[in-house]
Amino acid sequence: MFKSIIIILLLSALQICLSATAVTLKTVTPQGVVFISERGNERIKPLPAGFFIPATAQNLVWDIESLTLSYTTPNEPDDQGELVADTAHTLTLTAGQIAKAEAYTPAATIPERVTKIQLKIALIAAGIDLDALVARLPTESRGVATILIDDATHFERSANMVATLGALAGLTDAEIDALFVAAARIDPTKI
């Protein structure tokens, strides 16, 4: 049940993000491919594999029609100490490379800790009853678990109790990670 709820939550969040963030290619820079959203927010994605724009690049000109970036790099003096003309370069992106750059999403960082409020809301959203899990603990562990849960301001991902309660809920390590990622995205002030 938890897996299906997490999948539904993640797909819903992805659908909201995709529908709210239509983007257009703006330019290409040494830092990456720059996209701009309908809201005017810029996002820089990594350059496609095989593309390298040196830090010494000058006179960068992006042609949106031909999807070509032109730039020059300064040359070193020749054997007689005379400066030679700058070297011209062009890079052309394919539509596939642009689509791949736009679709790039870095892997979610698993937070080391989340607030108690964030985790409790994420557990409720996932259909996990924390009190029922604590009740399933051995008698000698319930008191400590109750104190940890009631008095904590944050939950550490690496805490033994998190692993124990996650196992009782039937969650894998990856699912606990996903729960922490989902919890970290919750802003209690906007609920």
Under a CB-based contact definition with an 8 Å cutoff, are residues 158 and 189 in contact?
A: no
Res 21: pLDDT: 46
Instruction: Please name the residue ranges forming H helices in 88-138.
Output: 95-103, 116-125, 130-135
Residue 131, pLDDT score: 93
Q: For position 142, what pLDDT does the model report?
A: 93
Q: How far apart are CA 36 and CA 116, in angstroms?
A: 36
What are the structure tokens assigned to 138, written together?
A: 């051995």
Q: d(Cα 119, Cα 182) in Å, to the nearest integer?
A: 9
User: 63-72 long-range CB contacts below 8 Å, 24 or more apart?
Assistant: 64/25, 64/27, 66/92, 67/92, 67/93, 67/94, 67/95, 67/98, 68/92, 68/93, 69/28, 69/93
Residue 9 has pLDDT above 80, yes or no: no
pTM recorded for the entire structure:
0.50
Q: Give dist(CA 59, CA 81) in Å, integer.
A: 24
* pLDDT of the residue at 75: 81
> Once rounded to an integer, what is the mean pLDDT over residues 4-20?
41
Whether the predicted pLDDT of 85 surpasses 50: yes
Question: What ranges do the domains of the chain cover?
Answer: 22-103, 109-190
pLDDT band at 191 (very low <50, low <70, confident <90, very high): confident
- Of 27-31, 136-140, 179-183, the poorest mean pLDDT is in 27-31
Judged against a pLDDT cut of 50, whether residue 159 lies above it is answered with yes
Helix-helix angle 173-184:160-168, to 10 degrees? 110
